[in-house]
């Protein structure tokens, strides 16, 4: 293909003395770095690329074309909520006044911005049923950290010092146990029953005087709603623990049921999932946290408050919130991401918010039903799908030697991003599929057709699948070699 399918490295464009000179600032008289004490100066220039502006734009434009993305492909990546990222949100966040505002600017130069932040806090409270919200955590895992840190601070404030166990279900996302560790806790797994719900007996067995709390998503990473959540809450609360809600799956229940009403004490929201801010090829995110009344004093700073007189909005910091777990970010959070989420929520409004959960759920249940019709096996066929569901390819693996990875890679060939594979670890050869509410029935039908084709190929021509992808810029990559012969930065040939 001569539409860009191979692109050399930016360093390959570099030639000594070349440069995008229009970008170089005029250097005022006397700008030579005389102020730098002897011995502190850089002796050799860093070998950054020396390229023209055209080289740079062309290179990264061509590179971009090697990506799948929401804007180009259906992207049913379970647990990731890859929905449409409205362009208006980006446009609003990049308005020059917002983009140019310094984080330490006086609040008098930020009442417009702060009004958005305050209202975002309020909307997130309303939609989750929590009592307080802090916007500063920078992603989901960072929100988890804040949540568990608040739980620890709560116990500590009560002098309840032994609680250093965090319970996580078997199928939990990796960030949950990793967060427990970062908060100095031990992660203890609790089993999940055959129906996908937490095994209450196992839970009762594991809770106790050392229980700091439990981290749950609901619907769980198995794509089903934890039906006995009230019982779970009762068991944990009675044992003296608190409940943490991993909000990665909030999209499923938006407008339908609220974590606060289910009994959760702390929660993070992935605004980059539920509230449609872009994932940017890896980030940024925003992991706002919400809390029940008992955790209110411990929220991380800063928080926006609305007062009675001008300037109406102001920041609350350590001074105003002395029990806070403190500051988790250099400044107030990923404000640009928060602005995007704010715009999105204002566009949805009350009615739209409810429909998100409804149509995300409709799409998942439809896709699950259709895929079962064409011969795939659902992990929990007796359960309602939430906004996502799991297929297991155990049978295909046994019968034809075709793995979930093979199916995923072949889907790429057919123009669809792959679902999440091999997560949750509980289900063997699994695909976790999340279509989101912004995709149409026609797109889902096209995906079903591709999956049906793959199932035929699995029977008739499994080699085709093992070798996939065939039509992408690269075929399957050698990850083992990547990890063994670490090549992590560019070295000049012979250098």
Partner 1 sequence: MPFIPHTEDDEREMLAVIGAPSIEALFDEIPANLRVQSLEGLPSGLSELEVMQLMAARARADGRPLCFIGAGAYEHHIPAAVWSTITRGEFYSAYTPYQAEASQGTLQSIYEYQSMMARLTGMQVSNASLYDGATAVAEACLMAVRANRRSQAARILLPRSLHPHYRAVTLAMTLNQDLTFDTLPYVRDAGHMSVDSLAVHDGQDITALVIQQPNFFGVFEEVDALTDWAHARGALVIAVVNPISLALLKPPGEWGAKGADIVVGEGQPLGCPLSSGGPYFGFMTTRMQHVRQMPGRIVGATVDADGRPGFSLTLQAREQHIRRAKATSNICTNQGLLMMAGTLYLALMGAEGLERVAAASMARTAELVAALTAIPHVRRAFARPGFHEAVVTLERPVAPVLAALAQRGIQGGLDLADYYPELGAALLVCATETKTSADIDAYASALSEALRSARAA
Ligand X SMILES: Cc1ncc(COP(=O)(O)O)c(C=O)c1O
Q: Name the site residues for ligand X (rule: CB under 6 A).
A: 79, 139-141, 173, 175, 217, 221, 246, 248, 270, 285, 287
In whole angstroms, how close is the CB of 343 to partner 1 at the nearest point? 6
The nearest distance, CB 32 to a copy of itself, in angstroms, is: 23
Nearer to ligand X, 141 or 151 (CB): 141
| 209 lines the binding site for a copy of itself (CB under 8 A) | no
> Helix 441-460 crosses helix 404-413 at what angle (to 10 degrees)?
120
Q: Which does 329 bind (CB under 5 to 8 A by kind): partner 1, ligand X, a copy of itself, none?
A: partner 1
Nearer to ligand X, 171 or 468 (CB): 171
Residue 73 exposed, middle or buried by CB count within 10 Å (0-12, 13-18, 19+): middle
**Nearer to a copy of itself by C-beta: 265 or 434?**
434
The string of DSSP codes covering 208-247 is STTEEEEEE-SS-TTSS--TTHHHHHHHHHHTT-EEEEEE
Which of positions 1-60 make contact with a copy of itself (CB under 8 A)?
Answer: 1-5, 13, 15, 18, 22, 52-55, 57-58
Site for a copy of itself in 97-136 (CB under 8 A): none
Closest distance to ligand X from the beta carbon of 175 (Å)? 4
Q: Footprint of a copy of itself on residues 306-365 (CB under 8 A)?
A: 347
Q: Is 300:137 a contact under the CB 8 Å cutoff?
A: yes
**Alpha helices, DSSP H only, in 306-393?**
335-373
Contact set for a copy of itself, span 449-488 (CB under 8 A): 469, 471-473
Cα separation of 464 and 218, whole Å?
38
- Residue 375 interacts with, from a copy of itself, ligand X, partner 1, none (CB under 5-8 Å by kind): none
Q: How far is CA 94 from the centre of its chain?
A: 22
Radius of gyration over alpha carbons of the chain, in Å?
A: 25
Among 192, 223, 195, 222, residue whose Cα is nearest residue 214: 192
Q: To the nearest whole angstrom, how small is the minimum distance from the Cβ of residue 216 to ligand X? A: 10
Dihedral angle over CA of 247, 168, 196, 202, nearest 10: -150
Q: 110 vs 169, which CB is nearer to ligand X?
A: 169
For ligand X, which is the closer residue by CB, 149 or 321? 149
For residues 173 and 409, which CB has a smaller minimum distance to ligand X in the complex? 173
Nearest to ligand X of 76, 285 (CB atom): 285
User: How far does CA 68 lie from the centroid of its chain?
Assistant: 17
Q: Which residues of 398-423 are buried (b: 16+ CB within 10 A; e: fewer)?
A: eebebbbbbbbbbbbbbebbbbbbeb
Least Å distance between CB 142 and ligand X?
Answer: 6
Query: Distance between CA atoms of 200 and 229, rounded to whole angstroms?
Result: 10
Beta bridge partners of 77: 433
Residue 50 binding result from a copy of itself, ligand X, partner 1, none, given CB thresholds of 5 to 8 Å by partner type: partner 1
Using CB distances below 5 to 8 A depending on partner kind, what does residue 97 bind out of ligand X, partner 1, a copy of itself, none? partner 1
Contact pattern for a copy of itself over residues 385 through 424, marking x by CB under 8 A:
---------------------------xxxxx--------
Contact 304, 121 (CB under 8 A): yes
- Residue 359: phi, psi to the nearest 5? -80, -25
Tokens coding 20: 């995008």
Least distance (Å) between residue 345 CB and ligand X: 18
When CB distances are held under 5 to 8 angstroms depending on the partner's kind, the choice from ligand X, a copy of itself, partner 1, none that residue 217 binds is ligand X
230 binds, among a copy of itself, ligand X, partner 1, none (CB under 5 to 8 A by kind): partner 1
Which of a copy of itself, ligand X, partner 1, none binds 216 (CB below 5-8 Å, type-dependent)?
none
Q: Which two tokens stand for residue 205?
A: 């067995």
Q: How far apart are CA 348 and CA 275, in angstroms?
A: 10
Altogether, the residues listed in the chain come to a count of 495
Which of 10, 19, 62, 377: binder of a copy of itself (CB under 8 A)?
62
Q: Closest-CB residue for ligand X? A: 140
The end-to-end CA distance of the chain, in Å, is: 32
Nearer to ligand X (CB atom), residue 139 or residue 465 = 139
Q: Which residues of 369-384 are buried (b: 16+ CB within 10 A; e: fewer)?
A: ebbeeeebebbbeebe
- Residues binding a copy of itself (CB under 8 A): 1-5, 13, 15, 18, 22, 52-55, 57-58, 61-62, 65-66, 68, 70-73, 84, 86-88, 347, 412-416, 438-440, 442, 469, 471-473
């Amino acid at each position: 293909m001569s539409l860009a399918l191979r692109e050399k490295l930016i360093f390959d464009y570099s030639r000594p003395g070349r440069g995008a000179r229009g970008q170089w600032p005029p250097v005022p008289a006397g700008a030579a770095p005389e102020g730098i004490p002897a011995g502190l100066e850089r002796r050799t220039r860093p070998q950054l690329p020396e390229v023209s502006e055209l080289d740079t734009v062309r290179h990264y434009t061509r590179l971009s074309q090697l990506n799948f993305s929401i804007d180009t492909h259906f992207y049913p990546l379970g647990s990731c909520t890859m929905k449409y990222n409205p362009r208006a949100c980006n446009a609003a966040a990049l308005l020059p006044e917002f983009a140019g505002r310094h984080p330490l600017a006086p609040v008098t130069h930020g009442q417009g911005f702060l009004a958005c932040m305050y209202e975002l806090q309020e909307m997130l409270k309303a939609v989750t049923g929590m009592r307080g919200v802090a916007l500063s955590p920078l992603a989901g895992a960072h929100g988890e950290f804040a949540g568990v840190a608040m739980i620890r601070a709560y116990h500590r404030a009560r002098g309840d010092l032994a609680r250093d166990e965090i319970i996580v279900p078997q199928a939990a996302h990796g960030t949950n146990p990793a967060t427990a560790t970062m908060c100095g806790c031990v992660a203890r797994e609790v089993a999940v029953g055959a129906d996908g719900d937490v095994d209450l007996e196992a839970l009762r067995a594991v809770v106790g005087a050392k229980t700091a709390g439990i981290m749950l998503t609901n619907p769980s990473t198995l794509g089903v709603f934890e039906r006995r959540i009230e019982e779970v809450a009762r068991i944990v609360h009675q044992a003296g623990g608190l409940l943490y809600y991993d909000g990665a799956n909030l999209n499923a229940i938006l407008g339908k049921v609220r974590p606060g009403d289910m009994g959760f004490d702390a929660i993070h929201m992935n605004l980059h999932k539920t509230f449609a801010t872009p994932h940017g090829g890896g980030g940024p995110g925003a992991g706002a946290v919400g809390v029940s009344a008992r955790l209110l004093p411990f929220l991380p700073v800063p928080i926006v408050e609305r007062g009675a007189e001008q300037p109406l909005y102001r920041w609350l910091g350590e001074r105003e919130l002395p029990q806070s777990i403190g500051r988790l970010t250099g400044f107030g959070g990923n404000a640009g991401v928060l602005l995007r989420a704010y715009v999105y929520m204002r566009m949805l409004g009350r009615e739209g918010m409810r429909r998100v959960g409804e149509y995300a759920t409709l799409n998942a249940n439809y896709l699950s039903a259709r895929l079962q019709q064409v011969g795939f096996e659902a992990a929990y066929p007796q359960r309602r799908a939430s906004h996502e569901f799991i297929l297991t390819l155990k049978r295909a693996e046994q019968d034809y030697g075709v793995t979930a990875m093979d199916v995923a890679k072949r889907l790429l060939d057919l123009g669809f991003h792959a679902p999440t594979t091999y997560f949750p670890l509980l289900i063997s050869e699994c695909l976790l599929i999340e279509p989101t509410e912004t995709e149409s029935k026609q797109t889902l039908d096209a995906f079903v057709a591709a999956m049906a084709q793959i199932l035929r190929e699995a029977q008739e021509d499994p080699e085709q699948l093992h070798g996939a992808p065939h039509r992408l810029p690269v075929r399957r990559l050698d990850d083992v070699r990547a990890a063994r012969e670490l090549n992590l930065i560019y070295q000049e040939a012979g250098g």
